[in-house]
Amino acid sequence: MKKAIIFDMDGTLFQTNLILEPALTATFDVLRTKGLWQGDTPIEQYREIMGVSLPVVWETLCPMHTLEVREASNALFHDKLIELIINGKGALYPNAEQALATLANDYHLYIASNGQKEYLQAIVDTYKLDRYIEGTYSIQSIPSGHKSDLVKSVIEENNIQTGAVVGDRASDIQAALDNHLFSIGVRFDFAQDSELQKAHIVIDNLYDISKHLPTISH
């Protein structure tokens, strides 16, 4: 029986909050320079929707702007995020590497994220996560844009029979439930307790996942 644990990336393994504000500020500085934005950078508004796909981010933050402006802003923001990652401005959450190393002894590990492919690869490469992670999957590969469908594709492609989904948002928990996997909510930076209510368990430290291995196995 093939057992796997599927991780979200932003707010679960990677501390996106460390690079979010500078990347978003740089993007809105460009919009302000072009006369396309007035006022402060909407940091708090983005934190509220953190975890959704980037196209949805820009539809939400800039609803009155043209599709062309939103796509250009998305591309610039994406580039800024990758630049900050490569320059070492981000970080994994405490105990992330230790947890992955331990879990990789008994489970096949994957990432399923709403992040774009190049962004996810930058994190994997910078922190050498391919030592533990067997595959990284982006929502870009799923026409529906739904996390549940992304997790389903990971399960089918890798012939997974049992395991868990680890994430910080309601879509991660729902993806586990929809695919009959154990759900583990992480209470980190962007997590909201209301979104984690359906999770089988909620943890504050990634290393605690190993404590629940017997539960996941059944």
Quick one: pLDDT at residue 170? 92
Q: What is the pLDDT of residues 116-169, one digit of tens each?
A: 999 999 999 999 999 999 999 999 999 988 999 999 999 999 999 999 999 999
Q: Is the pLDDT of residue 218 over 60?
A: no
Average pLDDT, the chain: 92
pLDDT-derived band of residue 49, with 50, 70 and 90 as boundaries?
confident
Quick one: pLDDT at residue 217? 62
CATH 3.40.50.1000 fits 3-15+91-217, yes or no: yes
- For residue 53, give the amino acid letter: S
Q: Where are the chain's structural domains?
A: 3-15+91-217, 17-86
Query: Cβ–Cβ contacts within 10 Å for residue 1, how many?
Result: 7
User: Above pLDDT 90, what percent of the chain?
Assistant: 80
Quick one: pLDDT at residue 211? 86
Q: What is the pLDDT of residues 169-192, one digit of tens each?
A: 999 999 999 999 999 999 988 778
CA 6 to each of CA 2, 82, 129, 137, 164: distance values in angstroms, whole numbers, following the listed order: 13, 23, 13, 10, 6
Quick one: pLDDT at residue 153? 98
Dist CA 52 CA 47 (whole Å): 10
